Amino acid sequence: MDAVTSSPRIAFVTGASSGIGRAVARRLATDGHRVVAAARRVELLDELAASVDGVEPCELDVTDLDAVRAAVATTVERHGRLDVFVANAGVMPLSRLDAGLTDQWNQMIDVNVRGLLHGIAACLDPFREQGGGHFVTIASIGAHGVTPTAAVYCGTKYAAWAITEGLRLESPPEIRVTTVSPGVVESELADTITDSDARQAMSEYRRHAIPPSAIADAVAFAVSQPPEVDVNEIVVRPVRQR
Ligand code: NDP
């Protein structure tokens, strides 16, 4: 570990049971930080914690504000502080609007937008009280452009981008704010698509997916900067994705 990354941080990662969140938790722990890995499927978190030193499992549904506040409070109580919060949990059950899958629209809003806001609500007090902190949002290239079947998903990611940018603008200099926007990454994300047309289109679209470690590298880069450097946004996509 070099001088920049030498101080171990206390990090909290949502959606750490698979894909990008799991890779971020693994990478930050491997870099010497202590990582609270949160998600609903606690058995997967237990497996991660058993295989990587420095990872603690935390069963959490990010749509539950009180639960997110309690998990952050427990982390602060246990470790004395919380340095980095990675708001990564997300779902992507794509479909055309005229398919009318309103429950899935609401699920995307609940996890991708409300879940992010719950993380911000839980972190701001500890960050202020301890005189700093780093909030990292995993948005998407879907925050920068819309595609058919992805109207609601992209809407949630535009919202995630805007909310995170607002947080950056409102934050004092000791609070750092980063948005990481991935392109297509290998994960379970497309598994929740029930609409057969959207599923078919996605399997073609996801052909050139890159490993989640590419996104973990971007998060680790932002986290490892000296305190006066705030990496605002990183877009990481496969070279073959336009
Ligand atoms: P995965 O489906 O592999 O991971 C999603 C994670 O979110 C899981 O760990 C899941 O855990 C968690 N999650 C879902 N709902 C909840 C909830 N209510 N409470 C807590 N955790 C929840 O997909 P990715 O790793 O790809 O997705 C991670 C993030 O990256 C998402 O925000 C996604 O939008 C974004 N992204 C992904 C891209 C890709 O191509 N893979 C591209 C651009 C952005 P559990 O089910 O155990 O709760």
Phi–psi pair at 138, nearest 5 degrees: -90, 105
Distance, in Å, from the CA atom of 69 to the CA atom of 90, rounded to the nearest integer, reads 18
CA distance readout (Å), 25 to 80, 136, 173, 224, 228: 19, 13, 25, 14, 24
Domain membership of residue 201 (yes or no) is yes
In a domain, 52, yes or no: yes
What is the C-alpha separation between 171 and 165, in angstroms, rounded? 10
214 within a domain of the structure (yes/no): yes
In a domain, 185, yes or no: yes
The length of the chain is 242
Task: State how far the Cα of 222 lies from the Cα of 230, in Å rounded to an integer.
Answer: 7
| Ligand 1 binding site (Cβ under 6 Å of any ligand atom) | 14-21, 39-41, 60-63, 88-92, 111, 138, 140, 182, 184-185, 187-189
Residue 180 dihedral angles phi and psi, to the nearest 5°: -110, 125
* Residue 1: predicted pLDDT: 37
Report the CATH number that the domain containing residue 210 is assigned in CATH: 3.40.50.720
Output the pTM of the full model. 0.96
Boundaries of domain holding 69: 10-223
104-130: buried (b, 16+ CB within 10 Å) or exposed (e) per residue? bbebbbbbbbbbbbbbbebbbebbeee
Segment 159-202, tens digit of pLDDT:
999 999 999 999 999 999 999 999 999 989 888 899 888 888 88
pLDDT at 5: 44
Residue 235 covered by a domain:
no
**158 catalytic residue (yes or no):** no
Inside any domain, residue 71 = yes
To test the ligand 1 pocket, which listed residue (14, 157, 181, 189) has its Cβ within 8 A of the most ligand atoms?
Answer: 189
pLDDT on residue 204? 79
- Residues 68-117 pLDDT 10s: 999 999 999 999 999 999 999 999 999 999 999 999 999 999 999 999 99
